[in-house]
A = this chain, B = another copy of it.
Amino acid sequence: MQHEDMLPRSTVTQLIDAHGTVVEDEQYALPSVEALLAAYRGLVDARRINDQASALVRQGRLAVYPSSHGQEACQIGAALALSPDDWLFPTYRDSVAVIARGVAPAEAMVLLQGGWHSGYDVRRHRVAPQATPLATQLLHAVGFAYAAKQRGEDTVVMALCGDGATSEGDFHEALNFAAVFRVPVVFFVQNNGFAISVPLSRQTAAPSLAHKAIGYGMPGRRVDGNDVAAVLAVLGEAVALARSGGGPSLIEAHTYRMQAHTNADDDTRYRERSEVEEWAARDPLARLRTHLTATGALTDAREEEFAAGAEEIASAMREALAVDAEVDPEDLFRFVTATRSPQLDEQWRLLRGEIDRTRTEDPAQQQIHGGSR
């Protein structure tokens, strides 16, 4: 690759604009109608999952939910750009992408419900645990891809992070290792303009985040993160490059988090409502609906079918989270190491004794919980 080709183009790639109009691009083709319909269906599900989860927080069924409302084109684009055998390394904000890769919503919500640190089988779904310590998972993605490459597998690994996370040292080390070892990783940054309350201008003085790529020797690309067509095209190119042995890429999507950082956040403290409204006009669902309706691909019947599908997911989520899943205190000791040490055995015996005593003292008590003597 020529050095100049590592630099992002001067404009952000967009294939369908905010009004649903197709934009001609000399480099990227518009995905097929089927692909766009599938993406649209994904967006409808995604939006419903986001809003259902937020509602469940309000109802006290979930402890916390970092919503990707507004970023659904990135979430669905990331999930659809991968082949079934590929791997995704997501963050706390990427529950929708995780679900779009096949994880059951209820399993994805275990973390946010407080039942365990991660609720799905990462191997079965080829989705790493959602990472909380920022940028750390990017290195895991690199090591994972390294191992796959060494074994001659053609797995591609998609590693997600936010704009804020690009400031962490681990971001730097991950991109550098990836480029030096030329591993098949796509680094996909959802630049939603904020790291909690801190705006992008406090995160970087660079022309764009994609301009960091050349400093590692990989291509950097910018894409409209609210245009799923463009996201699919640009990520598709990066995935193909990685799969063909061309090494890693850095993709920056320009998007916006429409809600607060989490339910516990108060975004009125740090951003104007007018800004939020501006971004509402660039909604990823609306534009694709306009486009697909205009081309006739999206009929009312289809739209209803999609809505019904999304509603099904949402009601399954509600149902799954309506019951308090049983938790087993011994789990605290079960998984720390492959073989439990005598120290942990001893500590479990202590806790076991406390639990037994609680139950004996109050035999009516079915559910295990902390008691006071």
Contacts and interface: CB of A to CB of B under 8 A. Distances in A.
A182 interface: yes
A202 B169 CA distance: 18
A109 interface: no
A169 B173 contact: yes
A204 interface: yes
A108 to B, nearest CB: 30
A180 to B, nearest CB: 5
Interface stretch (A16-24, A123-131, A187-195, A212-220): A212-220
Contacts of A179: 204-206
Nearest to A201: B180
A95 interface: no
Nearest to A248: B205
A121 interface: no
A207 interface: yes
Tallying the copies of this chain within the complex gives: 2
Interface residues of A, number: 29
A180 B180 CA distance: 27
| Chain B CB within 10 Å, residue with most, of A3, A179, A204, A211 | A211
The interface centre, meaning the residue of A182, A203, A205, A207 with most chain B CB atoms within 10 A of its CB, is: A205
Given A180-B203, A215-B211, A215-B212, A169 B170 contact: yes
Given A169-B170, A172-B171, A207 B214 contact: yes
Given A169-B172, A173-B169, A211-B215, A182 B206 contact: no
A168 interface: yes
A173 B167 contact: yes
Interface string A1-39: 001001000000000000000000000000000000000
Contacts of A6: 207
A165 to B, nearest CB: 12
Contact of A205 (B172, B173, B217): B217
A75 to B, nearest CB: 26
A179 B169 CA distance: 15
A176 interface: yes
Nearest to A167: B176
The 7 closest A-B pairs by CB, nearest first: A169-B169, A205-B217, A172-B172, A212-B215, A179-B205, A206-B217, A215-B215
Given A6-B207, A180-B202, A205-B217, 14 more contacts: A167-B173, A167-B176, A168-B169, A168-B173, A169-B170, A172-B173, A176-B204, A179-B206, A180-B201, A182-B205, A205-B216, A206-B214, A206-B217, A212-B216
